[in-house]
């Protein structure tokens, strides 16, 4: 079951990324998808039925809008700090905790944080991420988690869990 679902998911991803319906492209895509699925049968996720749930896709669409909002907000914040030298810059590395369980979820969170200006994911150790933050408001784990992680996490929990 996992291999079949992984093959279908990877093949659909192949078609979406190549944008081609040429028979040669499709056959190579199917072969690659089947090969990867045989090597790593759980590549589409631990429980394939979960990946087919519409709620997951709805949250992914909403997440893209939230991510764009967070990116614009962070860009403006960093730009204001560059333009106005009186604004505080208190760089440092903070430790934040995530509730995400899957590696894919943690990867998406770390990448989302890194792509947002003013923050950079440095390391992931278990349930903790180490983040370089341009203006550390508090070294406290709970406060830093609330400021950096919570907005992304509420969507990623549904998408990747």
Q: State pLDDT tens for residues 69-78.
A: 999 999 999 9
Which residues, 6 or more positions from 156, have their beta carbon under 8 angstroms from its beta carbon? 63, 100, 105, 108, 109, 112
**CA–CA distance, 136 with 127 (Å, rounded to integer):** 20
| 20-66 residue pLDDT tens | 889 999 999 999 988 888 887 665 555 555 666 788 889 989 999 99
For the entire predicted model, the pTM comes to: 0.71
Mean pLDDT of the chain: 87
**CA–CA distance, 74 with 31 (Å, rounded to integer):** 42
Q: Read off φ and ψ for residue 32, nearest 5 degrees.
A: -65, -45
Which 8-state DSSP code applies to residue 35?
H
**CA–CA distance, 153 with 108 (Å, rounded to integer):** 10
**CA–CA distance, 145 with 150 (Å, rounded to integer):** 6
């Amino acid at each position: 079951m996992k291999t079949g679902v992984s093959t279908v998911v990877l093949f659909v991803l192949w078609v979406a990324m190549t944008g081609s319906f040429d028979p040669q492209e499709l056959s190579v895509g199917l072969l690659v998808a089947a090969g990867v699925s045989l090597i790593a049968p759980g590549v589409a996720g631990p429980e394939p039925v979960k990946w087919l749930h519409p709620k997951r896709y709805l949250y992914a669409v909403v997440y893209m809008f939230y991510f764009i909002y967070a990116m614009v907000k962070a860009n403006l914040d960093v730009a204001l700090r560059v333009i106005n030298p009186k604004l505080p810059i208190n760089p440092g590395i903070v430790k934040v905790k995530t509730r995400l369980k899957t590696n894919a979820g943690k990867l998406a969170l770390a990448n989302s944080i890194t792509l947002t200006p003013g923050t950079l994911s440095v390391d992931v150790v278990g349930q903790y991420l180490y983040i370089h933050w341009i203006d550390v408001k508090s070294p406290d784990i709970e406060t830093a988690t609330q400021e950096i992680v919570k907005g992304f996490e509420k969507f990623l929990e549904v998408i990747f869990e």
